[in-house]
Amino acid sequence: MSFFRTILILIKITPERGLLATVKTITRYFEARIYKYLKLHKTLMMRGRDDIRIIMQPGCTISEKMYISGLYDRDGMETICGLLTKSDVFYDVGANVGPFSLLAANCGAEVYAFEGHPETIGRLRANFSMNGLDTERALNLAVSSRKGHVIFSDVAGSAVNKIVANPGIKGVSVGCISLDEFS
């Protein structure tokens, strides 16, 4: 995506917040590009949830988006906040760096986060640790219909790593479990 097209998109998603918010969003976009170029990490607060911290990793699209524009999936995250109670158990399947897990834990739910990619699980556990959550609940497993191993795609820093069905695609072998077997 071109630089100018990205700026136009950022302007379009923030008009209801006013000019200052739009300028802050565009500034965060430039900062995220600089951090990515310099391969630097930045600890940030989840916007609207100052008690939830997340590490922005260079090239991690989810943490970059959270830094630039706030919640990763505003509608989904707001729905989770409205539904969860302290007696609920929340399974985050494909947790990535954990924005939904962190939010669910902050709402008082008991959280189990499943992330198959071996690099991403380290990022997830770092975010759990920084927020005082038990890192043992960040499980390095993919979720499937059966227990065993699957091939997971291996796109560095990507939010799209997933189980691949084509055995010809190069990836990493990861353990998997069904939720029925887990619970």
Supply 168's token pair: 């010809």
- 140 lies in some domain: yes
Segment 59-78 shows an average pLDDT of 77
Domain enclosing residue 168, as ranges: 41-182
Asked if pLDDT for residue 140 goes beyond 60, the answer is: yes
Residue 99 counted as domain residue: yes
Q: Would you say residue 21 lies in a domain?
A: no
Distance CA 28, CA 178 (A): 39
pLDDT at 110: 95
- Specify the pLDDT at position 27: 83
5: confidence class by pLDDT, cuts 50, 70, 90: low
Q: Is residue 14 part of a domain?
A: no
Residue 44 or residue 182, greater confidence: 182
Q: Which tokens go with 36? A: 């990515």
pLDDT score, position 115 = 93
As for how many domains the chain has, the answer is 1
Q: Domain containing 151 — which CATH number?
A: 3.40.50
Residue 9 forms part of a structural domain: no
Position 49 in a domain: yes
- Could you tell me if residue 78 is inside a domain? yes
Asked if 130 and 53 count as a contact pair (C-beta separation under 8 A), the reply is yes
Whether 67 maps to a domain, the answer reads: yes
Q: DSSP 3-state assignment of 122?
A: helix
Give me the chain's average pLDDT, please: 83
Phi, psi angle pair for 89, to nearest 5°: -110, 130
Q: Is the dihedral of CA 62, 66, 71, 74 positive or negative?
A: negative
| Cα(123)–Cα(45) distance, integer angstroms | 16
pLDDT at residue 137 is higher than 60: yes
Percent of the chain whose predicted confidence (pLDDT) is above 70? 85
pLDDT of residue 128: 97
